Structures are given as structure tokens and as C-alpha cells.
Structure 1
Amino acid sequence: MARLIQMGSRAFRFVSSSKAVIPLLQRLNPEIERPFGSSFIQTRNYISEMRKSAFEENILRILRTEIQCELEIAPPQQPEAEFNSFTVEDRPGEQWIRLRGKYGDEEDIKIEVTMFDGSISVPKSTEDGQTEDTRLHISLIVDVSKGEGCDILEFVCSAWPDELEIQKIFMLKRDGLPARPYVGPDFKDLDDELQNAYQEFLEERGVNDELAVFLHGYMVNKDRTEFIRWLGNVRSFIEK
């Protein structure tokens, strides 16, 4: 037993002295490496870089394939710059567009339009029976003003694939809304005759079902364009 203790003590002294000697030898001879020294770290870094490179190259390959497929199957078209009496201001990289127009000599019309922001399912009859169809939704805000300093008549509308609906009507002041404004009833709660009058008011200014059809076609193209742009931006980031 004493012999085992003596052997263990010598082994402990050897390990302890080795820990002290190695740094001393390294100061005397810098070429002596620590256990698991720089060559080991360099090897690990090299393996990590290889894995990272392979991972990124796989993502880039998928992105390039996706972009190529999108361009071949349904290439985006040059967006329209005008629609009837309106000029169209596209917002590349953003989820909305703006239309501007005039009515007569005094009225300015500004329309801000979102990309597709919702949908509903509606029944559809086919040869095989009843099925469902999806109708995409676009929101738009129509501001009608009469020169600088005048209040704004604002319409919040829904554009469906083949029709435009008024949802709400506001009167806005140029200097902003008061803290707790009265915003009026929902459009559907108004008298039918008054609803028809407001719809005719907008139709007279070119805000009608034809505009809704145009906006849906425009947004289909914009949705495709923005998706391809997004894929390209991600690819460019990874390639850096």
C-alpha cells in the first residue's frame, strides 16, 4: 500500500512539473507547441469553414434555381405607369403603390393601394359539383381634396377581382385628426340612396370596378416582381 502511495506521489510530481516546464520550454524555444496548439485550432477552423462554405453554396444553388424557375415560368412584366387619368407610382421593395389624378380643375385625387392583404372563399359551381374559389382582397385609401388648406374627403375601400366596395368614409383636416374624432357610421349602415350617391361620386372620378380589375392585375405582377427581388437580395447577402 505504501508503495502504491509512493508511486502515485511521483506521478503527481511529474505531471505538476510538466505543467511548469512546458511554458518554460516554450519561452526558451517558441517552436515547441502546446498540446492541442495552433495546428489543432487551425484544423478545426478549416473544417468549420468547409462546412459553412458547403452550407452556403447549397443555399445559393437553391436560390439560383428558384429565381430561374420564376423567370422562366412567369416572368414579371414592366409595370404600367398610367391607368386612365391616373399616374401610377410604383414603390419597389415596398408593399404598396400610389395613384394620382385630378378631377376638373380643382380636385386632387390620391389613392394608396396595398398588395394582396387577405382573401375569402366563395362557392363555385363546376361540372363535378360545388367547390370553392378564392377571391383575393386589396385595400385602398382614396383621398379627394380641393386645393391647399382644404379638408380631405377620405374613402377606405376594398378592391375585389371584379368590383370595388366602399367600407368607410372620413372627413380629415389638413392639420391632422383631433384626439377623439367622430368618424361616422360604417358605409353599409348608411341609407341605400346615400350609398349609391357616394359610389357614383367615386365612379365619376374613375374610382370604380374597372380600377379594381386593373389593381388586381397590377398586384399579381408586383407580387411576382417583389418575390424575385427578395430572392435576389438574399442571394447577394450570402454571396458577400
Structure 2
Amino acid sequence: MLRQALAGARGALQQWRMLSSRRSSTSVSSAVNSMLLRHLKEHYLELSKMTPPPKVSPPSPFTIVEGALDRSGPVLKRTYGDEEISLRMMMVKTVLTSCSFTVDISKPGQKESLHFLCGLYPDALGIHSVSMRPKLETSGFLVVPTKYNGPVFQDLDEGMRDALHSYIEERGINENLFPFLQAWLYVKDNRNLMRWFRAVGTLIKERKQASDA
């Protein structure tokens, strides 16, 4: 009888310790969630109060693609004769004095387009690569090339490189785009960051509510 009583007491004590440990763990987890939610809210509000840069329009005849700020895909477009030209930003962290983008030049009836990867500075344009790519679809996703698309740009002789620079500059791809692209990147990055803070906060809040239930 005594053994049974002791065994029962030990079982009750072990169960109490487990429950106590769970309560402690839940309490710590709730505190961490609350702290994280507070920081997310503070950063979100701080971003929402930041003054955006003055609105800058792209140089004519480029036009802004509708909805470009809220989705991936081309940012600017224009026509040049029978050519369709689209420019899309490379969404990577860059210094404030430069930005990277791609330019696609295509013609009706052709399955491929001429694809430039460029770097732009306030007073200069640099070409990193030139390749032939399948035409971009309206989904906005880049098509990965599956065949040889051309030589390394720096391996081309100086005359060819200069001619390619002249080719895209004649189509308006030059340093005049820099003020617009810099402002666009700032607004895009700000929106993405606010969206990220909001999404993480929603997830943490749902987990917190679930654990409190």
C-alpha cells in the first residue's frame, strides 16, 4: 500500500513538474512574441512616416508600366521605330549612387530579343553583358537561356563595345534615366520592407493567438 502511495505521489509530482515546465515555456514564448511584435510595429510605423523622394517622371518617350511598383516585371517601356523596348530593375541592394537593370529590345515576328545587363551611374552607363534571349512573357519572369547567347562583353574589342553603347544610348538608355530609377528603387524598397514587416507581424500574431488559446 505504501509503495503504491509513494508511486502515486511520484507520478503526481512528475506530472506537476511537466505542467509547470509547459506553463513556463509558454510564458517565455509569449514574452518573446510580444517583444518581436512590438519591434515590428515600431519599424513599420517608422517607415510609414518617412518622407518619400520628390516624384520624378522618366524621360520621354519612356512610360511607366502600370502596377510596376507592386509586382515584378518591366518598369519602363517605349517604342523605337518597330522595336519594343522594356527596362526592368534588378532588385538587389546597391549603393545609392548606382543601380542595375536589364533592357530587352525586340521586334514583331521575332522569337528572340536582344538582352542587355547594365549598370547606371549619375554620369555614366555601363554594359555588363549582351545576349540573345527568348522574348519575355507578360508574367514578368526572366527566361533562362538554354543555348549559347554570345561572347563575354569584355572579350569584345573596344570598337564593338563602343558600338553597342551607342546602340542603346540612341534608344534613350543613358544617364538621364538615373534620377527616375533611383527614386523608383527607393519607393519600391520601402514598400517591400513595409510589406515584409506586416507579413511577419501577422504570422507571429496568429501563432501567439494560437498558443494563448
State the TM-score, normalizing by the size of structure 2: 0.72
**Residue 18 (1) aligns with residue 10 (2):** no
1:51 corresponds to which residue? 28
Q: CA deviation at 1:198?
A: 2.9
* Root mean square deviation of aligned Cα: 3.5
Q: CA deviation at 1:238?
A: 0.6
Report sequence identity in percent: 21
User: SS of the residue aligned with 1:100?
Assistant: strand
Q: Aligned in 2, Cα 1:230/1:97: closer, same or farther, shift over 3 Å? A: farther
1:61-210 to structure 2, matched below 5 A, reads 61-72=38-49, 74-76=50-52, 84=60, 85-88=62-65, 89-90=67-68, 92=70, 98-104=75-81, 106-119=82-95, 136-172=97-133, 179=147, 181=148, 183-186=150-153, 189-192=156-159, 194-210=160-176
Structure 1: runs of 5 or more not aligned? 1-13, 27-31, 120-134
Partner letter of residue 165 of structure 1? Answer: G
Structure 2: runs of 5 or more not aligned? 136-142, 207-213
Q: Aligned in 2, Cα 1:225/1:36: closer, same or farther, shift over 3 Å? A: same
Q: Aligned in 2, Cα 1:97/1:176: closer, same or farther, shift over 3 Å? A: closer
Q: CA deviation at 1:52?
A: 1.2
The aligned length equals: 197
State the TM-score, normalizing by the size of structure 1: 0.65
Q: What's the CA shift string for 1:172-221, capped at 9, x where partnerless?
A: 46698564x261352584334x4444333223322111113311121122
Contact 1:109 1:144 in 2 (8 A): yes
Partner letter of residue 184 of structure 1? Answer: P
Contact 2:56 2:180 in 1 (8 A): no
Contact 2:102 2:116 in 1 (8 A): yes
Contact 2:55 2:183 in 1 (8 A): no
Q: Aligned in 2, Cα 1:185/1:39: closer, same or farther, shift over 3 Å? A: closer
User: SS of the residue aligned with 1:36?
Assistant: helix
Higher relative contact order (CA 8 A, sep 6+): 2
Q: Aligned in 2, Cα 1:79/1:43: closer, same or farther, shift over 3 Å? A: farther
